[in-house]
Amino acid sequence: MDDIIGKIEDTQTQLLARVTNTETSSSTSVVEGTTPLLATASALAGSLFNWYTNHIWETVKGKKEQNKRAEVKAAINYWKDALWTLALAMDTAANERLHSFDHKKTMRKASSLRKRWRRLRTSHPDAYRSLDAHYLALRSSGFIVDDCTASHQWTSIDLT
């Protein structure tokens, strides 16, 4: 499995080098060491997974390349598993943070987590404000990209 992934990654590295050589203007951002690991990991994993699955899958077409298609499918399944592990780690971190305040068992449902966060807002307002301030600071600096939260919940004043 590692050999297969290594071959595919080598091919993709060569293709990426060709693409970056042809681009004249590219903006890169440096992730500072103060960024939380999970925030950095989620952003990198999401963008890498999207690029990896789309780009690799498009490069392998036709019945003659059936073995390559199987290798690509194995690599994509490997990445899906890695992303699932990352998502579980992030969910566990959120549950542990909530558990430190309300001492309830962990839960995976989004609706239950939202209810717990609402209860935390009323029962422990100082803790909620500190977590909120930390999140908003990371979001305003660009370390967290949140496309799921409704835009009306955070104003430009909150993000500055």
Break the chain into its structural domains and give their ranges.
36-145
Cα dihedral 7, 13, 19, 22, rounded to 10, equals: -120
pLDDT at 18: 53
For 27, other C-beta atoms within 10 Å of its C-beta total 4
Average pLDDT for 64-75: 71
> Using CA atoms, how far apart are residues 102 and 142, in angstroms rounded to an integer?
30
pLDDT at 32: 41
Angle at 115 between CA 113 and CA 117, to 5 degrees: 70
pLDDT at 127: 79
3 state SS for the chain: CHHHHHHHHHHHHHHHHHHHHHCCCCCCCCCCCCCCHHHHHHHHHHHHHHHHHHHHHHHCCCHHHHHHHHHHHHHHHHHHHHHHHHHHHHHHHHHHHHHHHHCCCCCCCHHHHHHHHHHHHHHCHHHHHHHHHHHHHHHHCCCCCCCCCCHHHCCCCCCC
46: Cβ contacts below 8 Å, ≥ 6 apart = 83
Q: Mean pLDDT lowest for which of 35-44, 59-68, 150-159? A: 35-44
Residue 85 has pLDDT above 80, yes or no: yes
Contact 72, 5 (CB under 8 A): no
Residue 34 has pLDDT above 80, yes or no: no
Q: Give residue-wise pLDDT tens across range 90-141.
A: 778 878 887 887 788 877 777 777 788 788 878 888 877 777 777 777 777 7
Pairwise pLDDT comparison (29 vs 21), residue with the higher score: 21
> Using CA atoms, how far apart are residues 1 and 94, in angstroms rounded to an integer?
32
Where residue 25 falls among pLDDT bands split at 50, 70, 90?
A: very low
